[in-house]
Amino acid sequence: MTLINRYLFKQFSQLVLAVLIVLFMISVGGFLTDLISEISRGKIPASLMLQLLVLRMPRFLSFVMPLALFVGLMMAIARLYADSEMAVLASVGIGSQSLWRPVMWIAGPIVFLIAFSSLWLVPWTAEKAKTMVEEANRSFLVSGLEAGRFVELPGQTGILFVTELSRDGRQFERLFVQREVNGRLDLITASRGELRLEGGARILRLENGTRMEGELGQRDFRKVHFKVNEIKVPEASDVKPSNKLDSVSTLALFKRGGAAATSELHWRIALPIFATILAFLAIPLARSEPRQPQYGLVLFAIMAYLLGMLTLLAGTYLLGKGQIPAVLGLWWALVPMAALAYWLFQRDGQLKPVPRAGA
């Protein structure tokens, strides 16, 4: 590595790292907002907030790292033009095309990290998060139930009260439930019971209790004594379970086949390729005049990133619906992007011939 390349590598890496830290902090705020919203709806217990925050981070970082790489490189290269350093480098025979070496020294590890996250880390963390949430849904604690306190059932469908609750929130003693279903009042008491998870639904198994039900304002109430009774706990929200394949391993996607698996597989492969294209695009797009402000370039970089990312997202959706042949995948979007980046890179390095003066 020459002295000039070491200098460029240092300048590029500092700005890319700074942009990545800023975007990371912004992303953390968004993650916390989503998690707090799920906690308030009773979907997950508050004790899992930090664990889920860490497990969901790789997926969002795979979106953020290409943008940080693109914006950081454009700002670093534009600074060379603004401070007339590119003019000095050109005077010693180092043009804009020579920047690809320090750019690739920065982009290489980031692209590798994106590929590692997209192909292995994101599915693994998604599976771990899914398992943790399923385990939490087996507990009353996910609904904020506390022993000795009346708690409203999810969906505002009734009230639940228990006198004693185990540490894991699955077994309880002396339960009282009041529900209203289609205008009918349902009162249930039980001496003990437990909470189970069957097919994604939470089931209350009650033992040695009574059940009274009837229509409000009428005299058709009936009382039933039971030894064992099972009732379904309403979900915390009406959101349907996700059918996404984000928790399926990449190898399993190869074996599964189908439009949905193909779209997920192409999406995971497209992310590191898209980041590499953005790294090459940063070299010609960052060309600017000396002392020119860089804010316009940053806005242009964000718009270019959004255009490319939205194209890939739209292609993934259409591929999953079967509206795009599996043979095309996302190559119909990536190949033109790569060709445009190569053309701009080659065109940026061409110098106009100097006309010779007559004798």
**Beta-sheet strands, E only, within the chain:** 151-152, 158-165, 171-181, 184-198, 201-215, 222-232
Residue 93 CB partners (closer than 8 Å, separation 6+): none
Dig out the tokens for 252 from the structure. 């399993």
Report in angstroms the alpha-carbon separations of 143 from 41, 169, 200, 348: 8, 10, 15, 60
Residue 41 pLDDT level (bands cut at 50, 70, 90): low
Beta bridge mates, 176: 161, 189
Q: What is the mean pLDDT of the chain?
A: 79
Comparing C-alpha atoms, which of 311, 321, 153, 308 is closest to residue 237?
153
pLDDT tens digit sequence for 54-84: 888 888 888 889 999 999 998 888 888 877 7
**What is the model's pLDDT at position 311?**
93
Which residue type does 317 have? Y
The answer on pLDDT for 277 being more than 90 is yes
**What is the model's pLDDT at position 292?**
61
pLDDT tens digit sequence for 316-352: 999 988 888 888 889 999 999 999 988 888 887 554 4
Over range 157-182, report the average pLDDT. Answer: 76
The answer on pLDDT for 294 being more than 80 is no
pTM exceeds cut of 0.75: no
Largest CA distance in the chain: 118
Instruction: Quote the crossing angle between the two packed helices 259-285 and 331-348, to the nearest 10°.
Output: 10
Distance CA 115, CA 292 (A): 35
The answer on pLDDT for 272 being more than 60 is yes
Using a CB cutoff of 8 Å and minimum separation of 24, what contacts does 244-248 make? 246/59, 246/122, 246/123, 246/126, 247/123, 247/126, 247/127, 247/129, 247/130, 248/123
| CA atoms within 13 Å, Cβ hemisphere of 80 | 27
Which residue type does 182 have? N
The vertex-221 CA angle with 218 and 222, nearest 5°, equals 165
Over range 224-250, report the average pLDDT. Answer: 68
**What is the model's pLDDT at position 56?**
82
Distance CA 124, CA 358 (A): 71
Residue with the bigger pLDDT between 155 and 35: it is: 35
